[in-house]
Homo-oligomer: A and B are copies of this chain.
Amino acid sequence: LIRILFSAGNGDWPEWEDPLRAALAHEGVAAELSAELPPGEADLLIWSPASAIRDLTSFPRLKAVFSLWAGVEKVPGLTTLTVPLARMVDPGMSAAMAEWVTGHVLRHHLGLDPVVRGLKGEWRGLPVPPPARSRQVGILGMGELGRAAGRMLSGIGFPVTGWARHGADSAFARIESGEAGLARVLGAAEILVLLLPLTGATRGLLDAARLQLCRRGQVIINAGRGGLIEEAALLAALDTGQIGHATLDVFAAEPLPPDHVFWRHPKITVSPHVAAATNPATAAPALVANLAGFLRGEGLKNRVDPDHGY
């Protein structure tokens, strides 16, 4: 009998218990799943950074940790973790993210904002967008979420270039790597989508110098992590017109404070971290399938590499 401790944020257990139990039964895992198991008895830990448990090294029997969050930058002691940690990869979240990104890319592509805000009686010609096939979209980060978004955007007709640590061109995107590749993606994209994890290598990636490499008037859509962009540098680049608009779903501090300048900036759209949420209905089966494979000795999928931080 495998003992699994669930420890996440307040209110998470009622949401997750049934889908996790159903998935364990479906996978044929004989397990005791509980949110009240003594830490010393836990073989496996299903956990999120919202948990009260902050030290993952103190479980004598622990074999692996399964994160409920896709982003692991808030995992304490990540670099000293002695058991493997699996990131959440939720197919439902990938689909939701692709829809959200595509919706905002089309919103900017089509110039919908004045229409949504209301033209108030003014019948006028609006700028005619070029065809999607001549509008370059760049995606920084081509993991599960970046690939899902790129596939959908390419399907609509946008030429997509991705930037990744490594990787080959795919049917739907050209892939660039390294600093020179980043400069090419930034310089070519009319619309730039950020879907990178936050790591030592990506924190502050879009700083003043790199924002100067962006195509003039570029629209930035950040659905990754707030820390990817230096706030002061972004504000300066919006002021000069170097960046045309920023649609931000993530922020260095969340919730974004009510008096933060982003809220009322005419060139910033604030989306309150709603792009894509983990959905227990699709995430629990994915997590438990990974857990069951691990117990069968097939190795852990979506395993976090502490050196890379994701």
For A264, list chain B residues within 8 Å (CB): 118, 120-121
Contacts of A79-107 to chain B: CB distance below 8 A: 92, 95-96, 99-100, 102-104, 106-107
* B95:A99 contact, CB within 8 angstroms: no
Neighbour of A155 across the interface among B113, B155, B263, B271, CB < 8 A: B155
Assess A263 versus B99: contact at CB under 8 Å? Given A123-B272, A128-B274, A128-B277. Answer: no
Q: From residue A150, how far is it (CB to closest CB) to chain B in Å?
A: 13
Assess A119 versus B272: contact at CB under 8 Å? Given A102-B106, A131-B95, A131-B96. Answer: yes
Q: Give A121's nearest chain B residue, CB to CB.
A: B258
Contacts of A289-309 to chain B: CB distance below 8 A: none
* B270:A115 contact, CB within 8 angstroms: yes
Which of A122, A133, A254 counts the most B-chain CB atoms under 10 A from its CB? A122
For A30, list chain B residues within 8 Å (CB): none
Count, chain A residues at interface, CB 8 A = 49
* This chain: copies in complex: 2
For A99, list chain B residues within 8 Å (CB): 106, 109-110, 129, 131-132, 156-157
For A116, list chain B residues within 8 Å (CB): 107, 112-113, 116-117, 269
Q: Give A155's nearest chain B residue, CB to CB.
A: B155
Q: Within 8 Å of chain B (Cβ to Cβ): is A29?
A: no
For A113, list chain B residues within 8 Å (CB): 116
Q: Within 8 Å of chain B (Cβ to Cβ): is A179?
A: no
* A263:B131 contact, CB within 8 angstroms: no
For A259, list chain B residues within 8 Å (CB): 121
Q: How far, in whole Å, are A255 and B124 apart by their CA atoms in the complex?
A: 9
* B155:A156 contact, CB within 8 angstroms: yes
Which of A116, A118, A129, A260 counts the most B-chain CB atoms under 10 A from its CB? A116
Q: Give A251's nearest chain B residue, CB to CB.
A: B123
Q: From residue A19, how far is it (CB to closest CB) to chain B in Å?
A: 16
Q: From residue A274, how far is it (CB to closest CB) to chain B in Å?
A: 5
* A95:B157 contact, CB within 8 angstroms: yes
For A115, list chain B residues within 8 Å (CB): 269-272, 274
Neighbour of A110 across the interface among B103, B109, B133, CB < 8 A: B103
Q: Within 8 Å of chain B (Cβ to Cβ): is A188?
A: no
Q: How far, in whole Å, are A123 and B259 apart by their CA atoms in the complex?
A: 11
Q: How far, in whole Å, are A264 and B117 apart by their CA atoms in the complex?
A: 10
Neighbour of A124 across the interface among B103, B121, B156, B272, CB < 8 A: B272
Contacts of A242-287 to chain B: CB distance below 8 A: 254-256, 258-260, 263-264, 269-272, 274, 277
Q: Within 8 Å of chain B (Cβ to Cβ): is A183?
A: no
What are 26 of the A-B contact pairs (CB < 8 Å)? Answer: A96-B129, A96-B131, A99-B106, A99-B110, A99-B132, A99-B156, A100-B110, A102-B106, A103-B112, A106-B107, A107-B116, A112-B116, A113-B116, A115-B271, A117-B117, A118-B263, A118-B269, A119-B263, A119-B270, A120-B263, A121-B260, A123-B254, A124-B272, A125-B272, A126-B274, A152-B156
